[in-house]
Structure 1
Amino acid sequence: MTSILSALLCLGLSLDQKTRVQAGTFPKPTLWAEPGSLINWGSSVTIWCQGTPEAEEYRLYKEGSTAWWYQQKTLDPGDRAKFSIRHMTDPDAGRYRCYYRSPSGRSESSNPLELVVTGHLSDRPFLSVRPGPGVASGENVTLLCQSQSWMNTFLLSKEGATDPPLGLRSKPGAQQFQAEFSISPVTSAHGGTYRCYSSLSTSSFLLSLPSEPLELLVSGGSDDQSLPPTGPVLALTSWERGLTGKPPG
């Protein structure tokens, strides 16, 4: 009787493992880009896909394309693979995902990584701040991104940040197009260097050259660590789903 129960138990565990494999319940890999997801036209970018130590092969693909890349896992550490794009151009921009294979089966695909090319458009928007670059904590601040060319979207990023940038639809101004990004009230966590980009919604992964950097200096108050920074890590197709006029810190 004991041997029969043991056999049934082993069979149940085997079927359970097989069911989990078929359901694709392997840990989802993590996908990221270095030095970041916003890449100057012609520059290089490294894409990392990290899975589990059991992974033997990693595959990277771009949504909407039939092409894919595969790579054996690296030796140190042994749970990730590296993919390189030496010269980033317009066709390389888009949404990427990766997955890995192990002796037990295939993992789910990673969350999307959106690679955006800057410099595709010759337009370079102008970024300004009201009431000025030096403000006291608690004041209301507006970052104004303007373009003399017809652009229907604008993107604001903060240097050194990791969260998605903020996007707004443009509004016609005095002989130019513009978007106003409001911070109300400003805190010391909002201080830093900002840039903005312009784009067309029909080519959401292709951005203009960046504006000249603008440094926002905030005096008084204390750092509010609960405010997330902004950074150029998502393409416009993502932030268009939740447009807002108030940038995070």
Structure 2
Amino acid sequence: MTFQASAYVLYKGRGSEPLDTRIPQDSSNKTSFLIEATTPSHAGLYQCAYYSTEDILSELSDPLLLVVTGVGDAPSLSAQPSPVVASGKTLSLSCSSNLTSGRFHLLKEGGADPSGHMEAEPRTYDGRWRAIFPLGPVSPSHGGTYRCYGSSSSYPNVWSQPSAPLHIDVTGAPDTTPSSMDPGSSAVEKAGSLSYYTVENLIRMGVAGLVLVVLGVLLFQARNDTRRTHDAARM
């Protein structure tokens, strides 16, 4: 049996009245709810449901969070100790602004979800608010361009202008040379090498000894054959 929806209903906020209702125009069983000019009032959780041909309302969909950005001044974003970091090291991204309360949000370009949310903490020496996002041990996947946003505690889904982009470059691979490893590892490797060469020498000596034994047996048989030949000649 082919499913057919007679109408779709859009809700904003949990337990709210329907925000909009749309009738599908064809048999594709989908429709769109258009927001022509987004404002901070549009931020929040949205859910939808549908009416079947028997006018039975379905269960609500999973909630979708709509975040509205561009409200308020942009924070600043910096990297400590440097935006260029070796793989395996630790890195912290600091987002700060003149916000008096709320949270900071860190996003990486190309990422499906925010990289993190942190409560703003005051800095007494300059009157600014800051949040530190630790990253690490970093890997090549941490490389890319990051931005951060700020929001107030009253409107957590209304974010500020984005910070200037900050590019993180992850270089090289973790240092695994013997000098950076455990001091005993070098001795273990040397002992293993010595054991390898000792076994190899023993094998060589064994092969040489076996060759000497075979040569001795052949020489002994040759002498016996010579004696027998001489004895036969005398007789």
Query: Hey, what does 1:190 align to over in structure 2?
Result: 142
Q: Secondary structure at the match of 2:5?
A: coil
Q: Which has the higher strand share?
A: 1
Q: Secondary structure at the match of 1:84?
A: coil
Q: 1:80 to 1:164 in 2, by over 3 A?
A: farther
User: Distance between the aligned counterparts of 2:25 and 2:88, measured in 1?
Assistant: 49
1:204 aligns with 2:167: no
Please say if residues 105 and 114 of structure 2, whose CA atoms lie closer than 8 Å, have aligned partners that are also in contact. no
User: Distance between the aligned counterparts of 1:53 and 1:75, measured in 2?
Assistant: 13
Query: Hey, what does 1:216 align to over in structure 2?
Result: 168
User: Distance between the aligned counterparts of 1:109 and 1:124, measured in 2?
Assistant: 36
Segment of structure 1 superposing worse, 111-120 or 179-188: 111-120
Q: Which has the higher helix share?
A: 2
**Structure 1 residue runs of 4+, over 3 Å off?**
64-67
Cα offset for 1:74?
Answer: 5.5
Query: Hey, what does 1:144 align to over in structure 2?
Result: 94
Cα offset for 1:221?
Answer: 4.5
What does the per-residue CA deviation read over 1:180-200, in whole Å, with 9 as the maximum and x for residues that have no partner? 000120111111111101111
Any gaps of 5 or more consecutive residues in structure 1?
1-51, 223-249
What does the per-residue CA deviation read over 1:57-111, in whole Å, with 9 as the maximum and x for residues that have no partner? 11111116535211123547x1321111010002111111101111242221011
Cα RMSD after superposing both structures: 2.1
Q: 1:189 to 1:53 in 2, by over 3 A?
A: farther
Percentage identity across paired residues of the two chains: 40
User: Distance between the aligned counterparts of 1:75 and 1:82, measured in 2?
Assistant: 12
Please say if residues 74 and 82 of structure 1, whose CA atoms lie closer than 8 Å, have aligned partners that are also in contact. no
Q: 1:38-77 residue pairs with structure 2 within 5 A?
A: 53-63=3-13, 65-73=16-24, 75=26
- Higher-Rg structure is 2
Query: Hey, what does 2:61 align to over in structure 1?
Result: 110
Alignment match of 1:126 (pick from 59, 63, 76): 76
1:155 aligns with 2:114: no
Q: Secondary structure at the match of 1:56?
A: strand
Could you say which structure has the greater relative contact order, defined with CA pairs below 8 angstroms and 6 or more residues apart? 1
Cα offset for 1:149?
Answer: 3.4
TM-score norm. by structure 1 comes to 0.63
1:92 aligns with 2:42: yes
Letter of the 2:70 partner, please give it.
G
Letter of the 1:193 partner, please give it.
T
Cα offset for 1:53?
Answer: 4.5
